Chains A and B, each alone.
Chain A
Amino acid sequence: MSKRPVYPFTAIVGQDDMREVLLLNVVNPSIGGVLIRGEKGTAKSTAVRALAELLPARDVVKGCKFQCSWNDNDRLCSECREALSEGVVLEKETVAMRVVELPLCATEDRVAGTLDISHAINTGGKRFEPGILAEANGNILYVDEVNLLDDHLVDLLLDAAAMGMNFVEREGVSFSHPANFILIGTMNPEEGDLRPQLLDRFGLVVDVHGERDPVNRVDVVKRRIGFETSPDEFLEWFSDQQEAMRRRLEAARSKMRSMEVSSEILEAAVEISLHLGVDGHRADLTLVKAAMAWAALEGRDGADTDDVLKVARMALPHRMRRQPFEESKLDIRGLDEWLQERFSS
């Protein structure tokens, strides 16, 4: 399969907020994905697809259709679990992470997986045919126009996201496999809302706008044309920057792993959540993880209150709604003042 050239991430002009949230998820995938809100033509899809090039490789069970993680024996597919119980030693294989797209028109059986019909007709036997959730395991699951996704597909996504596993019990097949993915969605808010429950599953949210700086706008067009006319040359041009970014992410990931959780950021996260009246505990968790990922990305060994504030504007806007249907607005300046007052003493 010949690989279609992908526009390099580091060649994207402007859109700093969007790039930052995407990178934070690469540093710590357990942040829980990103929802990108904004009008059409603001490089949302380009950025998500470009991210694939910066993703780390991961160890999976060799030969497993579902790419079960190699060291996570609690989350194995039915087949690997069976093999393990029969005493088979699972071998390791290294694969690249990918961006898997969930098209809006997908049907339920293609998303969750179903009975392998051709196998049933040819041999009369039952076999599970993996769906998109299986493909997405260990990868990024990208849903463009996520707010237009059919309700029952959203239900399936939520079910899988909650457990990190996809359980299929239909059409006579019973199967389970890991479905641990970074969910990235894009939406144009004018076309409808996202169900609060799905909204809450996105770790971070970012609003994007078209580039307003004329100089940058020219750059956007120039680079795009440059990429389209001679992609190879263009990729070559950015290869150093891409390599530098990969190294930066690798360093951030290793810093993240050894970083201690300080009481300072725990307290800051909880106090911010309480001050804003955010529902549930997911916000607190996301604030802490994202703050640590941000510090790591900046090359620091620990996160502080400033980092929590920095990521608050990404982790909280979509969780602000106490009153149903009240527009969710996050008053960053107010929050900043409040924090200064609260933590300066």
Chain B
Amino acid sequence: MVAGTVQLLRGTYPFTAVVGQDQVKKALLCAAISKEIKGVLITGPAGTAKSTVVRSLRSVLPGLSMHNLPLNVSEDRLVGGIDVDHAIKHGEKRYQAGILKEVDGGLLYLDEINLFEDHIIQRVLDAMEGGENRVEREGVSGTHDCDFGLVGTMDPAEGAMSSHLLDRFDICVSMDSITDRDRRIEVLRRRLLHESSPEDLVSCHSEEILGLMEDLEEAEGRLPCVIFPDAFYETVSLLTMEMGVQGHRGDMAVVRTARALAALDRRDQVCLDDLQEAASMCLQHRRRDREEEAERSPQTEEQNPEPGEEKEQEEDVWQPPQSDRRERADGDREDIFSIGDPFVVIDYLKPADKRVDMGKRRGKRGSSVRSDLPGRCTSFRIPRGEVNDIALVPTLRAAAPYQVQRRREDVAIVLESSDFREKVRVSKNGTTIMFLVDASGSMGARRRMVTVKGAILSLLKDAYQKRDSVGLMAFRKGSAELLLPPTKSVDLAYSRLREMPTGGRTPLALGLSKAAHMLSSDRLGKEDDMVMVIVSDGKANVPLDGGDAFADTLEVASKASALPIRFVVVDTGSGYPRLDRAQRLARALGGAYFRLEDLNADRLAHSIRMAVHG
């Protein structure tokens, strides 16, 4: 390259022309100079230049080969498989490497990484961490080294990544839109200039680009010499422990990143600022404490009830008339509460939940594997019995090595029954979630409904991300009303939720039986996984036929527990002591029990910066 000029592919945006986003840029540069840093994940809403900044890396690393992994990638292309051409010509099985070989020494980029199938991401991460790709498929085995960097970008609104996959990214940083007026205008000006005359934009930034290129080269050379003071190792482990990070990946990521940061800053020794900066890049996404906590708390409460507390609870059970009176007093009142702040929901429908009856579940939430029905073909297998759904390409691949021996007359390829492979389809059978919401007067007390509506909104948002159907039923006064039959339109559910009035008594038994009936009626898709989420404090006070309201409820519940429906009870009770009604309801239903507060995944999260400073 001639000094003083920068030549770029026309499509490449100059790295230094990206306005702001300093942390993201730094994270990418760290990964660019340090081969040790494994995986950078960038999260942010749509339209915040996530992929632009990643792709622009090429402008400052001219030697970088960046490989874009498309969403449609199949496993055989990723890891490699049988060399079909060779097999047909020579009748030999030979391994032909795939993308993981091509990307060796370069950078693999996964845009919308949260939309990839898990097994694909798993293979990529395994190869990245192990530094080699080992393949055993289609009758061939192959191994090759692969040393590559990985960058993923995702919009969290489209769905989250599981924590075990997240943990394998050394760095995770987030991007947001720029809100400063002048800087935003600058973003727009540069973007428009890039579209109309990219050369002009490049020439405006050529000095900066050349400068950065030199800096990177220098930093890369300096990195092996950067000293990480011994005393800091302890600081790092204290830091990660304090932040509730499990495992050791986080510690190592902080050390590696801190060294890269020091090298970028032209220093030979890591300082405390580097540690702090590295911690905010490497530890945010590893904080698993919140999940653990949420799982643990209801259990411990269940197992060790304080003797005094139990007594008080019994007293409360014995005193329904009192609470009844109170409700009757404001029974005529009807309020429409606004919707509280939404939050990130824990994985409350997790199949691993011990309280869920094992017999009722059908596979992982949201998808089931089958070979007989329509769905998306994800892989293939040797058929058992009759072949109906032939996987043509794998069949051809299986037949390829034998072509030399088989008698081919007019055709190019001869198939025998042993070659046949059938498709394994994954059908995205939806989960239908019916929200049964207690809208009685007791829920209006102390504006509890605002929080509850916020929680339901969060559950709706979660349902959207998992592409579930949602229905909404509310019970109050003397009746249970279907506000929304199961639909994919979460927006509709939201507007119904907003208009949902609160007030009156609590016909829990009626609501439960109606909702169960609704879900088990055959109007709904048979293949759907059914879930009923009951949001209530369990204080039933309208019996079905003149008996005890709560006893009725438990009776309906035990009947309903036989239905192929998974139940989740969200206890909205507040104050101390907490009544155990909702818990007893959950037990009768054979379902899971959560307290409202425990659904919030962020509740226990505290600011990382505070932890660093403290």
Complex interface: stretch among B121-129, B490-498, B506-514, B562-570: B490-498
Binary CB contact string for chain A from 171 to 194 against chain B (1 if under 8 A, 0 otherwise): 111100000000000000011110
Q: Which of B181, B192, B461 contacts A271 (CB 8 A)?
A: B181
Decide if B47 touches A124 in the complex (CB within 8 Å). no
Bound state CA distance, A171 and B397, in angstroms?
Answer: 9
The verdict on A261 contacting chain B, using a C-beta distance below 8 Å, is yes
Decide if A279 touches B71 in the complex (CB within 8 Å). no
Complex interface: stretch among A16-24, A238-246, A309-317, A323-331: A323-331
Chain A hits for B460, CB < 8 A: 325
Decide if A169 touches B70 in the complex (CB within 8 Å). yes
- Interface residues in A285-336 by Cβ distance below 8 A to B read 285, 288-289, 323-327
Q: Which of A151, A156, A190 contacts B72 (CB 8 A)?
A: A156
The verdict on A214 contacting chain B, using a C-beta distance below 8 Å, is no
Decide if B72 touches A169 in the complex (CB within 8 Å). yes
* Known A125-B85, A266-B185, A285-B192; contact A170-B112, beta-carbon cutoff 8 A: no
Decide if B185 touches A270 in the complex (CB within 8 Å). yes
Chain A hits for B487, CB < 8 A: 192
Distance in Å from the Cβ of B392 to the closest Cβ of chain A? 6
Closest to A191 in B: B489
The verdict on B438 contacting chain A, using a C-beta distance below 8 Å, is no
Decide if A281 touches B51 in the complex (CB within 8 Å). no
Chain B hits for A152, CB < 8 A: 376
Bound state CA distance, A74 and B58, in angstroms?
Answer: 14
Distance in Å from the Cβ of B399 to the closest Cβ of chain A? 10
Decide if A269 touches B412 in the complex (CB within 8 Å). no
Closest to B342 in A: A324
Task: Among A75, A166, A274, find the residue whose CB has the most chain B CB atoms closer than 10 A.
Answer: A274
Decide if B177 touches A261 in the complex (CB within 8 Å). no
Distance in Å from the Cβ of B435 to the closest Cβ of chain A? 14
Bound state CA distance, A30 and B191, in angstroms?
Answer: 12
* Known A155-B71, A168-B70; contact A193-B490, beta-carbon cutoff 8 A: yes
Bound state CA distance, A274 and B178, in angstroms?
Answer: 9
The verdict on A121 contacting chain B, using a C-beta distance below 8 Å, is yes
Decide if A273 touches B184 in the complex (CB within 8 Å). yes
Chain B hits for A74, CB < 8 A: 9-11
The verdict on A225 contacting chain B, using a C-beta distance below 8 Å, is no
- Interface residues in B426-440 by Cβ distance below 8 A to A read 428
Q: How many residues of B contact A (CB 8 A)?
A: 68
Closest to A289 in B: B192
Closest to A151 in B: B467
Distance in Å from the Cβ of A124 to the closest Cβ of chain B? 5
- Interface residues in A265-285 by Cβ distance below 8 A to B read 266-267, 269-271, 273-274, 279-285
Distance in Å from the Cβ of A157 to the closest Cβ of chain B? 10
Chain B hits for A166, CB < 8 A: 70
Decide if A192 touches B488 in the complex (CB within 8 Å). yes
- Interface residues in A61-90 by Cβ distance below 8 A to B read 72, 74-75
Complex interface: stretch among A43-51, A96-104, A135-143, A195-203: A195-203
Decide if A169 touches B490 in the complex (CB within 8 Å). no
Chain A hits for B112, CB < 8 A: 155, 158-159, 162
- Interface residues in A116-146 by Cβ distance below 8 A to B read 117, 120-126
Bound state CA distance, A167 and B71, in angstroms?
Answer: 9
Decide if B48 touches A281 in the complex (CB within 8 Å). yes
Q: How many residues of A contact B (CB 8 A)?
A: 63
Grouping DSSP codes into helix (H, G, I), strand (E, B) and loop, the A interface class, with mixed when no group exceeds half, is: helix
Closest to B81 in A: A172
Distance in Å from the Cβ of B98 to the closest Cβ of chain A? 8
The verdict on A108 contacting chain B, using a C-beta distance below 8 Å, is yes
Chain A hits for B400, CB < 8 A: 124
* Known A167-B70, A172-B84, A325-B461; contact A193-B99, beta-carbon cutoff 8 A: no
Chain A hits for B491, CB < 8 A: 193, 325, 327
The verdict on A106 contacting chain B, using a C-beta distance below 8 Å, is no
Decide if A281 touches B412 in the complex (CB within 8 Å). no
Chain B hits for A281, CB < 8 A: 47-49, 177-178, 184, 187-188, 191
The verdict on A221 contacting chain B, using a C-beta distance below 8 Å, is no
Distance in Å from the Cβ of B592 to the closest Cβ of chain A? 24
The verdict on B330 contacting chain A, using a C-beta distance below 8 Å, is no
Bound state CA distance, A193 and B494, in angstroms?
Answer: 12
Decide if A325 touches B46 in the complex (CB within 8 Å). no
The verdict on B549 contacting chain A, using a C-beta distance below 8 Å, is no
Task: Among B71, B81, B412, find the residue whose CB has the most chain A CB atoms closer than 10 A.
Answer: B71
Distance in Å from the Cβ of B21 to the closest Cβ of chain A? 11
Bound state CA distance, A166 and B488, in angstroms?
Answer: 29
Task: Among B9, B74, B457, B491, find the residue whose CB has the most chain A CB atoms closer than 10 A.
Answer: B491
Bound state CA distance, A156 and B376, in angstroms?
Answer: 14
Chain A hits for B185, CB < 8 A: 263, 266-267, 270
Decide if B397 touches A282 in the complex (CB within 8 Å). no
Bound state CA distance, A171 and B70, in angstroms?
Answer: 13
Decide if B71 touches A156 in the complex (CB within 8 Å). yes
Q: Which of A108, A121, A192, A280 contacts B413 (CB 8 A)?
A: A121
The verdict on A115 contacting chain B, using a C-beta distance below 8 Å, is yes
Decide if B73 touches A159 in the complex (CB within 8 Å). no
Bound state CA distance, A161 and B76, in angstroms?
Answer: 25
Binary CB contact string for chain B from 103 to 128 against chain A (1 if under 8 A, 0 otherwise): 00000000110010000000000000
Distance in Å from the Cβ of A73 to the closest Cβ of chain B? 8
Distance in Å from the Cβ of B207 to the closest Cβ of chain A? 24
The verdict on B88 contacting chain A, using a C-beta distance below 8 Å, is yes
Chain B hits for A158, CB < 8 A: 112
Distance in Å from the Cβ of B580 to the closest Cβ of chain A? 33
Task: Among B47, B397, B493, find the residue whose CB has the most chain A CB atoms closer than 10 A.
Answer: B47
Bound state CA distance, A171 and B380, in angstroms?
Answer: 12
Decide if A172 touches B393 in the complex (CB within 8 Å). yes
Chain A hits for B84, CB < 8 A: 124, 126, 172
Chain B hits for A30, CB < 8 A: 195
* Known A162-B111, A195-B158; contact A171-B76, beta-carbon cutoff 8 A: yes
The verdict on B2 contacting chain A, using a C-beta distance below 8 Å, is no
Decide if A280 touches B70 in the complex (CB within 8 Å). no
Q: Which of B184, B195, B428, B490 contacts A325 (CB 8 A)?
A: B490
Decide if B188 touches A266 in the complex (CB within 8 Å). yes
Bound state CA distance, A331 and B184, in angstroms?
Answer: 23
Bound state CA distance, A273 and B181, in angstroms?
Answer: 10
10 additional A-B pairs beyond A171-B74, A271-B181, A284-B188, beta carbons within 8 Å, are A74-B11, A112-B70, A121-B396, A126-B85, A151-B467, A169-B98, A197-B46, A279-B47, A284-B187, A288-B192
List 10 A–B pairs whose Cβ atoms lie within 8 Å, in order of A's numbering.
Answer: A30-B195, A126-B84, A156-B72, A159-B72, A172-B84, A173-B77, A193-B489, A279-B46, A281-B47, A325-B490
Residues of A within 8 A of B (CB): 30, 72, 74-75, 108, 112, 115, 117, 120-126, 151-152, 155-156, 158-159, 162-163, 166-174, 190-193, 195-197, 200, 261, 263, 266-267, 269-271, 273-274, 279-285, 288-289, 323-327
The 5 closest A-B pairs by CB, nearest first: A280-B47, A325-B494, A170-B74, A282-B47, A167-B70
